[in-house]
Structure 1
Amino acid sequence: MVDFTRRQVLSQSVAAALGASVIGVSSGEEVEESDTPGAPSVKGELKRLSTTAFGAEVTGPFVFEDGSLLYSLQHPEGENPEPFGRAAVGYFSGFQFTFNGSNDDFQEVGVPDTEEKQRQVRSATGDYEILVQGREPINGGEERLGVTQTPDGTDVTPENFAGAKGGVGAGPDCNQFVPTNDEGTEGYLFTNWENVPGCISRVPLSQDENGEWSADTENAMNVVNTEAFRELGGTRTNCYGDLSPWETMISAEENYAHARVHRTATVGDIVEAGTGVGLLGGCQFWNRPNPAGIVDAINTYAENGDISEAWTPQGAWSQIGNEGLAYYLGAEPSDNEDGENTTTPIDDVYPNPYRFGYFVDIRKPAAETPNPIKYWVMGRAAYEAPDIQGDRKTVYMCSDGDSKGIYKFVADEPIDSYENTDDIAGTLYAPKITNDTASVAESDSRNSPAQTPLEVEWLELGHATNGEVESWIADYDEVTQADYLEAHAETDWQEDTSAAIKEADLEVLKNGNQNYITNEEIVEWATQYEQNGPDGVDEDLRRVPFLETRAAAKEIGASIEFNKAEGVDTMDNSQPGDFIYFGISEFNDGLADDEGDIQMDRVDGGVVYRAELESDYNVSTLEPVITGPDFTDSPEDADDALRNIDNVYTMRDGRVLCCEDGFGGPTRSYPNDGLYVYQPNVIVSAGSAAVGGGSTGSVPLTASSLPAGFSGARLTVSVSNPDIASITGVSFPDSLGLTEQSVSDDGATATIRVADVDTNVQSGGMDVPLATLDVRADSGGTTDLTVSVEQMDDESGTAIEAETRNGLIVGGPDTIIGDAAPTDPDGDGHFEDLNGNGRLDYEDVQVLFENMDSDSVRLNVGAYDFNENGQIDFADVTELYEEVN
């Protein structure tokens, strides 16, 4: 968030509103004369549903089963008129989404062009009704909403404890509703409160017969104020989250304090330089007495010549609150002077840094005391958001902040199938961007992020169980502030605390904090990783990528360059072929510098990427679909563009709620953040199939959705190599009244015309069938099935702007054993049935293992590349074995 004062922003925005037109470009229209081509632009339609009150972000959107919408009013300015001057969670009374895929179900709200409009939550379709507000009494008056307490019930606030972080109860973020009845009209609303110590509240909600929601604050609770949470170490900066497929709240810990190195630096840089000056991140001062004081101390050391330069270590500001966490856990408060924190070390109870930066799953959400678990095995970061896929094993994760990452975790089995959560096992991955077009190093000029997809490979960091990682973390549970002084200073801190702190600081600045994982351990892990792979490192080094995820990923060359990765989401129960969306709030710094795998034009307004889930829930291409303003244009040009994406929320009809986190920044005639709804373009897709030699198979041709209905279309489908496969015929669903098709003599092209004369194809459907292609495999190999949309109209006759997705035909491979040809029993485009007996069984795994080098396999990569890495290898055998089991 850009740091603008209230007066500056108001004067600028009101002047712009009064002195110039506030009619911006139509939603999604590309602005001309932009320094970065395509900034701002959108592939589809973007429509503003709401603007929030002055000073507040739009966070925590949630859509109920009936289409009702709520979101959080996060940290609004206190001078806003009531009720918009306090943090709150509210819903839009009188409005429900219709889930037909069209943005026609709501009116767009205009820009807030007066101070009165800027100081309230606005929508043109419903009234924002407050359900709960931060710091209000709950639980019979025993607690305040969003406020964490010590074990004896004292609020952890600066008023009560020096060293505690302010802003308590002002930052509601993620909201997830867990229903307790079949109708979905009663249940619990779980809300994250973004602070240190972190807080998660649970509030009973109910809906009356008129569709209005109400909250029961008397029976609400802050679930973190329980012994179950303290046993985990508590939580920190609870930001966004997810509703799990097993209907529990997943809360993400946005642990900015975890940064071990500064921005683009690596641990290897520090070891090579022989000093951490200018390179260390703030986490190295986690257990320093008064950790937030390190910035002033560094400036003093530089002025006195003790170090060569001054800098502000990344994440140093986020060390504020560490001592508040200690008091939450039961530490005895150290002395303070007039409410100011001192450097008297806490030496009894102190938080373990490796216990923060994870996902908290609140199991048994309706129990009197919910049962929290942390997914230690998913790595440690400044996690803004997770997204669990429909296989219940694959998780995509975004880490917020400068030069951070997106990560992937894949469990061995469905996560909720483990009886003991300590046994959850899986593999942690970091991304590697591989396409040359993403880097200026391969071209004379930088490419625009609006026009450049990112090709992704996933680097395996390590494999472990949840219990293993927690046991590694527990090794650091007893470390206190006194240990910082005793490990790094020869001076007795009890005799001269100031001298001991300076001596310890200078030692840590040079060689790092020896109380935790050392720089040398991380470099040694990376060395062994490069030599032996992720499974070939020493046992005592296996902890490194799980506890120091960002530093480890950087050390092996992962693309940890994303700036403010703040959102990731798919539709609930996502399936292969569905889209997953990643929100990058700012495309700058590590993404637009002269280093690394990504070196493109700068777009300070951010980018939303879309990726298609592959058959194994992997994603390999991030496609830009929304690009924000680059902050060089006149304000009115960006009035209707998405600026600084935060949360993304994919509804069940494929539309995406896009929240803004850019309050007070440049490039607009008004300062307020807004909630937008993204309606994707219609996508016409050809399916894929594996067809045995001389045999015929079928391939569906579908439209992703038709939100404005459908009157007709003219399409062409072509086979890129008709020697491998050919089109032999076309059939149509009964719902289409008039149809016509012609296939070329060589089977290379089919021309299709359809008309919905009886209006049977209704708006709102997903994966609408248009035709079925009959294809014949004439030889072994693969060929593309290319779709071209020549004309496509909605019910009113308006042209539909459609994108296309091509299919793939895998032509019949030769027999491997015996006379029976391999088959594709599940229709996913791979020949799992290698022995040709019509089913997948263990013998198929054995056949592949014994015949990997045979021509019948090597010449048909597409048929047997089960892990989809473009080659035949032992991983394909492993993948097929896992399918059998």
Structure 2
Amino acid sequence: MVDFTRRQVLSQSVAAALGASVIGVASGEEVEETDTPGAPSVAGSLKRFSTTAFGAEVTGPFVFEDGSLLYSLQHPEGENPEPFGRAAVGYFNGFQFKFDGSNDDFPEVGVPDTEEKQRQVRSAAGDYEILVQGREPINGGAERLGVVQTPDGTDITQENFAGTQYGGAATNPDCNQFVPSNDEGTEGYLFTNWENSPGCVSRVPLSQDENGEWSADTGNAMNLTNTDSLREHGGTRINCYGDLSPWETMISAEENYAHPRVSLTATVSDIVEAGSGEGLIGGCQFWNRPNPSEISGAIESYAESGDLDENFGPQGYWALTGVEFLAYYLGAERDDQGDGENLATTLLDDVYPNPYRYGYFVDFREPTADEPEAVKYYVMGRASWEAPDIEGDQRTVYGCSDGDSKGIYKFVADEPIPEYDDPMDVAGTLYAPKITNDAANAAEAGERNSPAQTPLEIEWIELGHATNGEVESWVAEYDDVTQADYLSAHADWEDGDEVTEAAIKEADLSVIENGNQNYITNEDIVEWAEQYEANGPDGVDEDLRRVPFLETRAAAKEIGASIEFNKAEGVDSVDDSQPGDFIYFGISEFNDALADDEGDIQMDRVDGGVVYRGVLESDYNVSTLEPVITGPDFTDSPEDANDALRNIDNVYTMRDGRVICCEDGFGGPARSYPNDGLYVYQPNVVVSANSAAVGSGSTGSVPLTASSLPAGFSGARLTVSVSNPEIASITGVSFPDALGLTESSISDDGSSATIRVADVNTNVQSGAMDVPLATLDVRANGGGTTDLTVSIEQMDDENGNAIEAEVRNGIVVGGPKTVVGDAAPTDPDGDGHFEDLNGNGRLDYEDVQVLFSNMDSDSIQLNTGAYDFNENGKIDFADVTALYEEVN
């Protein structure tokens, strides 16, 4: 994303910054001295593929089917030599990833240690060739790439309109997603986000020739924001990263930084209890103020005059830039706007953007049609979305909200999203995270753990359930609010009155004290939280159901969610992800609310950020995030920081499991050079024992696999152990035919099996994925759960070198016997839950009765994993209801 606040602290002299970087003097803000264990570090390996031109972030990576790599050159310094001085999207001609899981397919590019190197896009494999550049003519000359227009076709730029704009028009290309239009994947459309306000998403036809070179057809390109389909949603703003959906459409994320209702760690109830929002209020409350981005200066003047006790900056106020330009996009009349420097107070009282229409995921359905249909997923929550990741079940969506004291969220649709005939019928549940492990907040015990060494355990808190159409109808109720309403609701002012500084001041002070009465009120949010705590998410008044969807961050804070993440800037998993696959979350800076003395997370500070990895469980839930990449402390020496990943931005998981990691830390401390880079993360090999649910007295199979073998495989010796053989025991081991020499031995009590394999015929090739090593036969001896623990004693590649490998342990759920005859319960649909409690091989009403009658028995209560049908972590009457609904 474009972080203007960070860039403001950098040296204003480009030459001075370049000179400092070359001689090894760190630039940027001074930071508190820290020495965090494990910073920097990598669980696996990290290799630098490219550095970008001076002033630019690395954003929008995309890998084509043939392995070609593309990314955006976002807001480069204009003094760079052509073609690196203008925003652009380009690809690396002459290079393709091999998809073999190994970083050996490219050489590492060195650090840019001269001004010449710092002024260009560099790589050690392939040449960066520009495909398109911002503001170039497209669509037969009717538009300019990335530039939004008014309904009458006027470009919305500061050359044509007086006022503020979030970034220069078409200077911030970010996410890129390619949707093929032929079976070979050599023709199609490149969708690109333009991170401005008004925001823009463009579509450019691309084609690849027989030599593998890509070219763009700008004559037939279009800005989708200028179409009626998106204009009906109010347009868009600050389009950041995105995702290619499983149904092959572009999903664009709106990074609406102006959405915070309260600043940093404050809550709405803090404001209500204090009787004022002074020092606590967020920038969104000034959305419809005349000249909204000037609120910070106004507050400073009110403090100087004694009308306020303190001078403060409402969080997100700076992102109110460009809001009035959105009004012109929607067709507002342009009155006298002054000379562009000394702005007149123009009251926009005819057409004005609705704040609740921005901060969503936007899906471009029918991507190859003459005009794709734009759909906003209002039901997935409103935030400063950096990125979504839609899982292979086509129901589960994870999202990262960028900025300070923000959240990561989860949405689960009732049915696969593309199966809804009307996207407005998409229904589902929105969740916020709660970090639950004591190690994450050990500061309360007088010590701080390192984020490099401490996983995060997550419980997902339900915020609410709705349909997309319901949420949109709630949004629509605020469509007619204008700047005139800001004055009439909060000052002694009526339509037709002169807009004076005194009237604006009166309104500002009223909003600071009591909140903006034009939108959802502070009291509404507090009342929703009280009803939620008393009655649960489904027990709130009908008119309050809107709160968690329209005021997602504020609502999550009120009920104790862990809204502490700082700059959550990336989330991704492999396309068509399945249970057992990894999902990666990038936290660009691990500081502020993550490293203070409050909240659920209180750990050491790492300004260079952390990349977390989770495992998608059987229901696509993620319950644990483990750190796999930790950036540098900003007080580390360049020798430690030059080759470390600093301030992760976009993450992109390739189909071979490697992860492209992009940086957003331009000019910050620690390094000897200012440029951001693109790195490729190669995870360690993971040897996994799967989990299984086995009925008591029955035997099930547990596969043992290696995630990938980039350097091939010669053999391994390992042991698998059962932690509690009274619940389950290992009774046998079998091997795939591909492994030439195999041997196993099982302990007398079945508590462990030692396995030895050798690939003497070299059947396992370099780059093989999901390689089976063995299959364990596991018998359930009783009710309960037991761990399957894997221990690797030796594992070698085809050259005899030791393989760096991690283990992923499994769980066996032993199903208990019930009071119904001698039959053991079964799991008919293989989801890990024993719906068939009476053991007759099917789910029927008698199973519901068995659960109801035996709910308090040890055989049920000790098997939460088997009988927790509503997945709330305990056995209760709601599980009986959930099972009954499955029968019906």
Shorter-normalised TM range: over 0.9
Alignment partner, residue 630 of structure 1: 633
**Residues 10, 115 of structure 1: 8 Å contact kept:** no
Structure 2 counterpart of 1:332, one-letter code: E
Matched residues in 2 for 1:835 and 1:342: separation?
Answer: 77
Q: Does 1:613 align with 2:616?
A: yes
Alignment partner, residue 113 of structure 2: 113
CA apart distance, 1:805:
1.1
**Residues 22, 115 of structure 2: 8 Å contact kept:** no
Alignment partner, residue 270 of structure 2: 269
SS of 2:439's partner is helix
Matched residues in 1 for 2:401 and 2:813: separation?
Answer: 38
Work out which of the residue numbers 365, 375, 378 in structure 2 matches 1:376.
Answer: 378
SS of 2:803's partner is coil
Work out which of the residue numbers 705, 708, 715 in structure 1 matches 2:708.
Answer: 705
Q: Does 1:735 align with 2:738?
A: yes
Q: Does 1:864 align with 2:870?
A: no
Structure 1 counterpart of 2:127, one-letter code: D
Work out which of the residue numbers 808, 827, 837 in structure 2 matches 1:805.
Answer: 808
Alignment partner, residue 354 of structure 2: 352
> CA 1:812–1:317 in structure 2 vs 1: closer, same or farther (change >3 Å)?
closer
> CA 1:655–1:877 in structure 2 vs 1: closer, same or farther (change >3 Å)?
farther
CA apart distance, 1:856:
3.4
Alignment partner, residue 144 of structure 1: 144
Alignment partner, residue 182 of structure 1: 183
Matched residues in 1 for 2:44 and 2:734: separation?
Answer: 30
- Give CA-to-partner distance per residue, 1:44-96, whole Å, 9 cap, x none: 01111111000000000011111111000000000000000000000110111
Structure 1 counterpart of 2:251, one-letter code: I
**Residues 489, 518 of structure 2: 8 Å contact kept:** yes
Work out which of the residue numbers 791, 800, 815 in structure 1 matches 2:818.
Answer: 815
Alignment partner, residue 412 of structure 1: 414
**Equivalent pairs: percent with the same residue?**
81
**Residues 443, 603 of structure 2: 8 Å contact kept:** no
Structure 2 counterpart of 1:226, one-letter code: T
> CA 1:12–1:317 in structure 2 vs 1: closer, same or farther (change >3 Å)?
closer
Matched residues in 2 for 1:268 and 1:92: separation?
Answer: 52
**Residues 809, 829 of structure 1: 8 Å contact kept:** no
Alignment partner, residue 723 of structure 2: 720
CA apart distance, 1:116:
0.6
SS of 1:609's partner is strand
User: Superposition pairs for residues 756-775 of structure 1, below 5 Å?
Assistant: 756-775=759-778
CA apart distance, 1:826:
4.2
User: Superposition pairs for residues 271-420 of structure 1, below 5 Å?
Assistant: 271-340=272-341, 341-420=343-422
SS of 1:125's partner is coil
Matched residues in 2 for 1:630 and 1:208: separation?
Answer: 46
Structure 2 counterpart of 1:257, one-letter code: A
Matched residues in 1 for 2:865 and 2:470: separation?
Answer: 37
SS of 2:226's partner is coil
User: Superposition pairs for residues 646-795 of structure 1, below 5 Å?
Assistant: 646-795=649-798
Aligned pairs, number: 874
User: Superposition pairs for residues 568-579 of structure 1, below 5 Å?
Assistant: 568-579=571-582
CA apart distance, 1:494:
1.8
Structure 2 counterpart of 1:858, one-letter code: Q
**Residues 864, 872 of structure 1: 8 Å contact kept:** yes
Matched residues in 1 for 2:417 and 2:884: separation?
Answer: 20
**Residues 24, 671 of structure 2: 8 Å contact kept:** no
CA apart distance, 1:695:
2.4
User: Superposition pairs for residues 197-212 of structure 1, below 5 Å?
Assistant: 197-212=198-213
Structure 1 counterpart of 2:824, one-letter code: A
**Residues 471, 546 of structure 2: 8 Å contact kept:** yes
> CA 1:702–1:141 in structure 2 vs 1: closer, same or farther (change >3 Å)?
same
Alignment partner, residue 226 of structure 2: 225
**Residues 605, 642 of structure 1: 8 Å contact kept:** yes
Alignment partner, residue 557 of structure 2: 554
Is there any run of 5+ residues in structure 1 with no aligned partner, and where? 22-32
CA apart distance, 1:847:
4.0
Alignment partner, residue 479 of structure 1: 481
Alignment partner, residue 242 of structure 1: 243
SS of 1:256's partner is coil
CA apart distance, 1:582:
0.4
SS of 1:169's partner is coil
- Give CA-to-partner distance per residue, 1:451-481, whole Å, 9 cap, x none: 1101100111111111110111111000000
**Residues 290, 342 of structure 1: 8 Å contact kept:** no
SS of 1:715's partner is strand
**Residues 52, 121 of structure 2: 8 Å contact kept:** yes
**Residues 440, 594 of structure 1: 8 Å contact kept:** no
> CA 1:423–1:456 in structure 2 vs 1: closer, same or farther (change >3 Å)?
same
- Give CA-to-partner distance per residue, 1:204-223, whole Å, 9 cap, x none: 00011111110000000001
CA apart distance, 1:335:
1.5
> CA 1:678–1:780 in structure 2 vs 1: closer, same or farther (change >3 Å)?
same
CA apart distance, 1:397:
0.5
**Residues 831, 864 of structure 1: 8 Å contact kept:** yes
User: Superposition pairs for residues 99-178 of structure 1, below 5 Å?
Assistant: 99-165=99-165, 166-178=167-179
**Residues 151, 330 of structure 1: 8 Å contact kept:** yes
Q: In angstroms, what is the RMSD of aligned CA positions?
A: 1.8
CA apart distance, 1:699:
1.1
Alignment partner, residue 422 of structure 1: 424
CA apart distance, 1:708:
1.0
**Residues 252, 361 of structure 2: 8 Å contact kept:** yes
CA apart distance, 1:499:
1.6
Alignment partner, residue 29 of structure 1: none
> CA 1:840–1:177 in structure 2 vs 1: closer, same or farther (change >3 Å)?
farther
CA apart distance, 1:16:
5.5
**Residues 134, 169 of structure 1: 8 Å contact kept:** yes
**Residues 199, 222 of structure 1: 8 Å contact kept:** yes
**Residues 56, 675 of structure 2: 8 Å contact kept:** yes
Return 815-824 or 791-800, whichever deviates more: 815-824
Matched residues in 2 for 1:445 and 1:376: separation?
Answer: 41
Matched residues in 2 for 1:210 and 1:866: separation?
Answer: 55
CA apart distance, 1:643:
0.3
Matched residues in 2 for 1:199 and 1:392: separation?
Answer: 26
**Residues 163, 322 of structure 1: 8 Å contact kept:** no
> CA 1:743–1:438 in structure 2 vs 1: closer, same or farther (change >3 Å)?
same
Matched residues in 2 for 1:741 and 1:168: separation?
Answer: 65
- Give CA-to-partner distance per residue, 1:502-530, whole Å, 9 cap, x none: 11111111111100011111111111111
Q: Does 1:196 align with 2:190?
A: no
> CA 1:701–1:879 in structure 2 vs 1: closer, same or farther (change >3 Å)?
farther
Alignment partner, residue 459 of structure 1: 461
Matched residues in 1 for 2:886 and 2:94: separation?
Answer: 48
CA apart distance, 1:256:
0.3
User: Superposition pairs for residues 447-596 of structure 1, below 5 Å?
Assistant: 447-492=449-494, 494-495=497-498, 497-596=500-599
SS of 2:486's partner is helix
Structure 2 counterpart of 1:206, one-letter code: S
Matched residues in 2 for 1:41 and 1:884: separation?
Answer: 50
SS of 1:678's partner is strand
**Residues 688, 828 of structure 1: 8 Å contact kept:** no
**Residues 14, 670 of structure 1: 8 Å contact kept:** no
- Give CA-to-partner distance per residue, 1:824-867, whole Å, 9 cap, x none: 33444432322323244565455434542344322433322345
Normalising by structure 1, report the TM-score: 0.96
Normalising by structure 2, report the TM-score: 0.96
SS of 1:440's partner is helix
Matched residues in 2 for 1:270 and 1:20: separation?
Answer: 43
CA apart distance, 1:7:
6.5
CA apart distance, 1:619:
0.7
Is there any run of 5+ residues in structure 2 with no aligned partner, and where? 27-32
**Residues 9, 671 of structure 1: 8 Å contact kept:** no
Matched residues in 1 for 2:555 and 2:68: separation?
Answer: 43
- Give CA-to-partner distance per residue, 1:649-707, whole Å, 9 cap, x none: 11111111000000111110000000001111111111122222232222111111111
Alignment partner, residue 66 of structure 2: 66
**Residues 198, 237 of structure 1: 8 Å contact kept:** yes
Matched residues in 1 for 2:211 and 2:842: separation?
Answer: 53
**Residues 411, 426 of structure 1: 8 Å contact kept:** yes
**Residues 586, 605 of structure 1: 8 Å contact kept:** yes
Matched residues in 1 for 2:95 and 2:709: separation?
Answer: 22
- Give CA-to-partner distance per residue, 1:13-62, whole Å, 9 cap, x none: 545545799xxxxxxxxxxx970000000100111111100000000001
Structure 1 counterpart of 2:79, one-letter code: E
SS of 1:754's partner is strand
